[in-house]
Structure 1
Amino acid sequence: MGERRAILSGSTFEESIGYARAVVDGDWVHVSGTTGFDYATMTISDDVVAQAEQCLANIGAALAEAGCTFADVVRVRYLVPDPADFEPCWPVLRRTFGEVRPAATMMSVGLADPRMLIEIEVTAHKR
């Protein structure tokens, strides 16, 4: 059995709520729902596509720290308050996942902060 390791991004939400950006458990990497905040400045764009790009940058950093890449992603979940905001993000998502083809789900849900327009969660399996 591999050991369990938490990866922190520096997001104030992680400290306030008590969770990790990602958890590495053996060959599995579970990345928490990740929004479009720039964690260095704790700022967020008001554009959903820019938020999707920042979500993926944040996730990519967590995956790299876990020793894997987007190519290792087997499951992705997209959470959007307004379903109409999902389609504008498709080109960004396709650039990241078009060759990988993970299992995917999109849900329309309320998010923790009204500035958040998209949240993305992934599960990866290191090869």
Structure 2
Amino acid sequence: MELIRTNYSSGAPLEEIVGYSRMVKTGPFIFIGGTTSVQPDGKVYGEGSSYEQAKYILEKQVELLGQAGATASDVVKIKAYTTDMKYAKEIGDAYSEIFHDIRPLFTMVGTTMLNRISQLVEIEMDAILGQNS
């Protein structure tokens, strides 16, 4: 069986410069790469708040899933990276607002830093189209 690959862009300038996709769909499988709260104007949304950054990222990713015909209910795995595990509760609160009843796999990893000092959270997401039926 041949799976068709479709690449999706969020329009971030680095996607073209570096050569990566924000999201890739292959057959029913959808993968969203590490996403931060950088807005289209290049500014970090929710600076100083891990909750606001996580909520912004998750909402942006769920919106992106819609381009591939998926919804939050199709999500099977989320991995969050944070620059300090003291933010775990706030990130978990933002996650829970969207995914509490869906219950995908969830992993949180502490890291020393992200791309910018003001970024506190980065999130990856995997989905399988049709999981919501």
Q: TM-score band, normalised by the shorter chain? A: over 0.9
Structure 1 residues 55-98: Cα deviation after superposition (integer angstroms, max 9, x where no partner):
01220121011110111011100100111112122222101110
* Higher normalized strand content (fraction of residues): 1
1:119 aligned residue: 122
What is the Cα-based RMSD across aligned positions, in Å? 1.2
Larger radius of gyration: 2
- Whether the 8 Å contact between 2:51 and 2:93 is mirrored in structure 1 is no
1:16 aligned residue: 17
User: Any idea what SS the aligned residue of 2:35 has?
Assistant: strand
Structure 1 residue 34 corresponds to structure 2 residue 38: no
- Whether the 8 Å contact between 1:38 and 1:54 is mirrored in structure 2 is no
Percent identity between the two aligned chains:
28
Structure 2 residues without counterparts, runs of 5 or longer: none
TM-score normalised per structure 2: 0.88
1:3 aligned residue: 4
Count, aligned residues: 126
Q: 4+ runs of 1 displaced by more than 2 Å?
A: none
1:98 aligned residue: 100
TM-score normalised per structure 1: 0.92
Structure 1 residues without counterparts, runs of 5 or longer: none
Q: Would the alpha carbon gap of residues 76 and 65 (structure 1) be closer, same or farther in structure 2, given more than 3 Å must change?
A: same
